[in-house]
């Protein structure tokens, strides 16, 4: 099937809620990854800095998973309390990324904007303690944009949203995805570094 048709069919699936999107993704992720990887490769070759629209949770799983699969040196992420749910859906690609970073001496840093680390994320951090560092902190603001940065050139930047529950509408998730935008990535990375340094200093 041509790339445009495959990508269009997969990404146009309007799953009603979060749990339905997760089930659909579980059964179709290989096809979704393959189609999106073609787009990633094209963006890399052309150095196109125009963003892709992330219109729902299914998009979020696909785009984030492909970013995990292509990160080779570093990852920075600011996420909300629902990050444990997303990591559970993307655990294979997340662990593969951490193993790849371990092999090259890379690092992954993650700030959870919430009162506690999700249990599954804490378990993964313990397994990859030489690579993955996670800090949790309750933010003063409730309108923080969550983001994922990979290798200082790719970034997914998400609009604020409520905690995800099974029946949360899938289209509550909105984001812009840049598979190649070093300038924007480095600006947000600098902001992340400031947040990370502040939280580390508070830990003592």
Instruction: Please write the tens of the pLDDT for every residue from 91-104.
Output: 999 999 999 999 99
What is residue 15's predicted lDDT score, i.e. its pLDDT?
A: 62
pLDDT number for residue 73: 98
CATH number for the domain including 97?
Answer: 3.30.870.10
**CB neighbours (10 Å) of residue 15?**
18
Tell whether pTM > 0.85.
yes
Q: Which DSSP string do the residues of 39-103 spell out, in sequence order?
A: HHHHHHHHT--PPEEE-SHHHHHHHHHHHHHH--SEEEEEE-TTHHHHHHHTHHHHHHHHHHHHH
Structural domain including 48 reads 3-203
Cβ proximity of 170 and 21 under 8 Å:
yes
Q: How many domains, in total, are found in the chain?
A: 1
Torsion of Cα atoms, 65 then 47 then 50 then 169, to 10°: 0
Mean pLDDT, 10 residues at a time, over the chain (204 residues)? 47 72 90 92 96 95 97 97 96 98 98 92 97 90 88 97 92 97 98 94 76
């Amino acid at each position: 099937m041509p790339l445009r048709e495959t990508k269009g069919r997969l990404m146009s699936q309007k799953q009603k809620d979060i749990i339905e999107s997760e089930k659909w993704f579980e059964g179709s992720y290989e096809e979704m990854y393959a189609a999106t990887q073609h787009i990633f490769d094209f963006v890399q070759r052309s150095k196109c800095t125009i963003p892709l629209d992330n219109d729902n949770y299914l998009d979020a799983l696909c785009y984030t998973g492909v970013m995990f699969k292509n990160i080779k040196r570093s990852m920075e992420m600011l996420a909300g309390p629902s990050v444990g749910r997303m990591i559970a859906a993307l655990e294979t690609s997340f662990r593969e990324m951490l193993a790849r970073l371990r092999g090259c001496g890379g690092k992954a840093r993650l700030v959870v904007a919430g009162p506690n680390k999700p249990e599954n994320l804490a378990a993964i951090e313990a397994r990859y303690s030489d690579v993955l560092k996670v800090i949790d902190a309750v933010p003063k603001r409730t309108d923080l944009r969550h983001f994922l940065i990979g290798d200082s050139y790719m970034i997914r930047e998400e609009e604020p949203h409520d905690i995800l529950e099974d029946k949360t509408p899938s289209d509550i998730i909105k984001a812009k995805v840049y598979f190649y935008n070093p300038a924007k990535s480095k600006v947000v990375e600098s902001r992340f570094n400031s947040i990370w340094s502040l939280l580390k200093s508070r830990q003592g």
